[in-house]
Structure 1
Amino acid sequence: MATAQQNYGTGRRKTCRARVYLKKGTGNIIINDKTLEEYFGGRKAAHMIVRQPLEILGVTNRFDVTVNVGGSGPMGQAGAIRHGITRALIQYDEEDATGSEGTSGGTQSFRQILRKAGYVTRDSREVERKKVGFRKARKVEQYSKR
């Protein structure tokens, strides 16, 4: 009994971590045992962000995506899921290319296309910590001369 090929990618954004499993299928996206629409509700921006890597490659209906995600908020999670899907797609493409004696000269690899779109690089911005004596990270009480 042969098991289906499954690719893995870890995505990170802010304080969020997403474990993404990618396998051939019909285009279902399951996040923490819920569908994409159930998990993010009416947040159309989050739906769009999660689907971006699949849409840019034109493979939305070729893969089933299963995600375990935690930490941060909904938009941070969407960014982490996008990053994880990107990494899993790159892993799939590299394994596929080595199996078929490399990519042909005329086609671009998934990595090149996703890199050009800006999805491969992790967004490293995080919340700055609050400093002692300040109201917030940088906000200081107004100085009073008299």
Structure 2
Amino acid sequence: MIKNFNKIIATGRRKSSIATVELVPGNGRFIINNQSGINYMQDNAYLIMQMQSPLDFLELKNKFDIQITVKGGGLVGQANAIKLGISRALCLFQNNYRPSLKLKGFLTRDARIKERKKYGLKKARKAPQFSKR
């Protein structure tokens, strides 16, 4: 997490997705990997709402330009990583946002990841069919 004079950088993670969020005072532009946020999230209203929920909650939707670089995972994991990154950046911007964001659950890192496959099994826990004879 980095705080410059005019730019705030924070990182959010979810599953195998990592999002680097840059918050700059502006008029509400949302850029993800050099595309508009709506195009990148394929016009999925749920994912767009999920990403912008910290800004909606604090009523700051048109106060910042947000530049995001996201890697890994699928769109849902990336949207949740972006949400965490935005929340962390807002806390760096103004520390009194932290209690309300924490109470709402925006600062909680969801650590659930895919379990690794074990040898002798088909997936992480699925065993081959048992045959008595």
Question: How does the TM-score come out when normalised to structure 2?
Answer: 0.94
Output one character per residue of 1:83-141: Cα deviation in whole Å (capped at 9) or x when no partner: 100010000003xxxxxxxxxxxxxx210111011010110000000110111110001
Unaligned runs of 5+ in 1: 95-108
Equivalent-residue separation in structure 1 for 2:9 and 2:101 (angstroms): 16
Equivalent-residue separation in structure 2 for 1:8 and 1:89 (angstroms): 10
Report the residue type matching 1:53 in the other structure: P
| Match 1:138 to one of 121, 125, 130 | 125
Report the residue type matching 2:65 in the other structure: D
Conserved in 2, the CA contact under 8 Å of 1:4 and 1:23?
A: no
**4+ long deviations beyond 4 Å:** none
Equivalent-residue separation in structure 1 for 2:20 and 2:61 (angstroms): 19
| Match 1:126 to one of 88, 113, 123 | 113
2:104 corresponding residue in structure 1: 117
2:10 corresponding residue in structure 1: 9
SS of the equivalent of 1:75 reads helix
1:28 corresponding residue in structure 2: 29
Question: How does the TM-score come out when normalised to structure 1?
Answer: 0.86
Unaligned runs of 5+ in 2: none
Bigger radius of gyration among the two: 1
SS of the equivalent of 2:51 reads helix
1:104 corresponding residue in structure 2: none
SS of the equivalent of 1:65 reads strand
Measure how far apart 1:42 and its partner are.
2.4
| Identity score, percent | 42
The number of equivalent residue pairs is 130
Equivalent-residue separation in structure 2 for 1:136 and 1:42 (angstroms): 33
Output one character per residue of 1:51-101: Cα deviation in whole Å (capped at 9) or x when no partner: 00000000001111000000000000000000100010000003xxxxxxx
